[in-house]
């Protein structure tokens, strides 16, 4: 069965582009969250195999969300997504338990590599 992914990003555009790449490569996007709180709720509900997590979001940022999800599921496989210039935050996200990171603008190959590597 195809691995499932939960996409978290506050911009619909980013969710759409990511979803496009992810689904073209044989994964199933089971949910899309627009902020950290939503991501946590959807994680509990959908139990996705992987999560992509934007950092800068309203209501609850990605790093807080990663910490919360890791509490719920220490084996959660989260890929943190950042823009250039967010290095300290990416490191914080990684030390909070994110398994990999992606830098915007997304390169389709990198996205797929990341999904493949953290799911194996």
Partner 1 sequence: MDINAFKEVFAAEARDYLQSLNDDLLSFENNPADKAILDEMFRAAHSLKGMAGTMGFDELAEFTHEMESVLDLLRNGELQPEPHVINVLFSSVDTLEVLLEQTINEEPISSFREEIAALEALINGNGDSAPESTEFASNLTVELDEFNRETIKQGLEQGYNSFKVIVTLRENTILKSVRVYTVFQAVEEVGTIIQSNPSAQDLEDEKFDNQFGLIILTKESAEKIQGIIEGISEIAKADVAALDLDSDKTLSIAPTDEKAVPNRARLETAATRGEPRVSPIRTQRQEALVRVETERLDKLINLVGELVISRTQVVEMTKDEDNADQKSALAQLDRVTTELQYAAMSLRMVPIKQVFDRFPRMVRDLAQSSKKDINLEIFGETTELDRSIVNQIGDPLVHLIRNSIDHGLESREVRLANGKPTTGTIRLGARHEGSHILIEISDDGQGLDVDRIRDKGIQRGLLPADTGEITVREAVDLLFHPGFSTAEEVTDLSGRGVGLDAVKTTVESLSGTIDMESVPGQSLRTIIKLPLTLAIIKALLVVVDGETLAIPIQAVRENIQIERSQIKTVQQHDVILLRNEVLPLYDLAEVLGFNHLESEGPLPVIIVEIRGQKVGFIVEDLIGQQEIVIKSLSGIVSDIRGIAGATVLGNGNVALILDNSTLI
Residues near partner 1 (CB under 8 A) are 10-14, 16-17, 20-21, 24, 35-36, 55-61, 63, 82-92, 94-95, 100-101, 103-106, 108, 110, 113-114, 117-118, 120
Q: Report cis status (omega within 30 of 0) of the bond before 105.
A: yes
> How far apart are CB 51 and partner 1 at their closest, in Å?
15
SS3 13: helix
Under 8 Å between Cβ of 39 and 8? yes
Q: What does the alpha-carbon distance between residue 90 and residue 75 come to, in Å, rounded to a whole number?
A: 19
> How far apart are CB 6 and partner 1 at their closest, in Å?
19
> How far apart are CB 3 and partner 1 at their closest, in Å?
16
Q: On the CB side of 4, how many CA atoms lie within 13 Å of its CA?
A: 13
- Which is closer to partner 1, CB of 16 or CB of 47? 16
Sheet holding 78-82, edge to edge: 28-33, 4-8, 50-54, 78-82, 100-103
- Which is closer to partner 1, CB of 70 or CB of 103? 103
- Which is closer to partner 1, CB of 41 or CB of 47? 41
> How far apart are CB 7 and partner 1 at their closest, in Å?
14
- Which is closer to partner 1, CB of 12 or CB of 72? 12
């Amino acid at each position: 069965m195809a691995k499932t992914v939960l996409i978290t990003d506050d911009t619909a555009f980013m969710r759409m582009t990511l979803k496009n790449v992810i689904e073209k490569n044989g994964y199933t996007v089971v949910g899309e969250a627009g902020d950290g709180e939503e991501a946590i709720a959807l994680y509990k509900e959908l139990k996705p195999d992987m999560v992509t997590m934007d950092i800068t979001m309203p209501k609850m940022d990605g790093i807080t969300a990663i910490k919360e999800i890791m509490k719920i599921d220490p084996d959660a496989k989260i890929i943190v997504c950042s823009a250039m210039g967010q290095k300290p935050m990416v490191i914080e996200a990684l030390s909070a338990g994110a398994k990999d990171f992606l830098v915007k603008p997304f390169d389709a190959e990198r996205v797929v590599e990341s999904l493949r590597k953290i799911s194996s």
